[in-house]
A and B are shown apart, each in its own frame.
Chain A
Amino acid sequence: MSQSYKPVFPKTWWLQSAFYTRYMIREASSFFVATYSALLIIGLWRLNDGPQAWDGFLHALQSPFAVLYHLLALLFTLYHTVTWFAVTPRTMPVLVGDDFLPAAPIVIAQYVAWVVLSLGMIAVTVWL
Chain B
Amino acid sequence: MTHYHKSSKPLVWLPFAAGGVTSAMVLPVLMLITGILSPLGLLPDGALSYERVHAVVAHPLGKLVLLGVLLPSLWHGAHRFRCTLQDLGVSSHGGRQMVMLGCYGFGFLFTILAIAALAAIW
A113 contacts the other chain (Cβ, under 8 Å)? yes
A30 touches B76 (CB 8 A): yes
Closest-CB distance, B20 to chain A (whole angstroms):
5
Q: Given the complex, which residues of B lie within 8 Å of A32, measured CB to CB?
A: 77
A31 touches B32 (CB 8 A): no
Partner of B50 from A11, A31, A55 at Cβ < 8 Å: A55
Partner of A62 from B39, B54, B79, B83 at Cβ < 8 Å: B39
B36 touches A33 (CB 8 A): no
A74 contacts the other chain (Cβ, under 8 Å)? yes
Q: Given the complex, which residues of B lie within 8 Å of A51, measured CB to CB?
A: 50
Interface residues of B (CB under 8 A from A): 17, 19-21, 23-36, 38-40, 43-44, 47-48, 50, 53-54, 57, 66, 70-71, 73-74, 76-81, 83-84, 87-89, 91, 103, 106-107, 110, 113-114, 117-118, 120-121
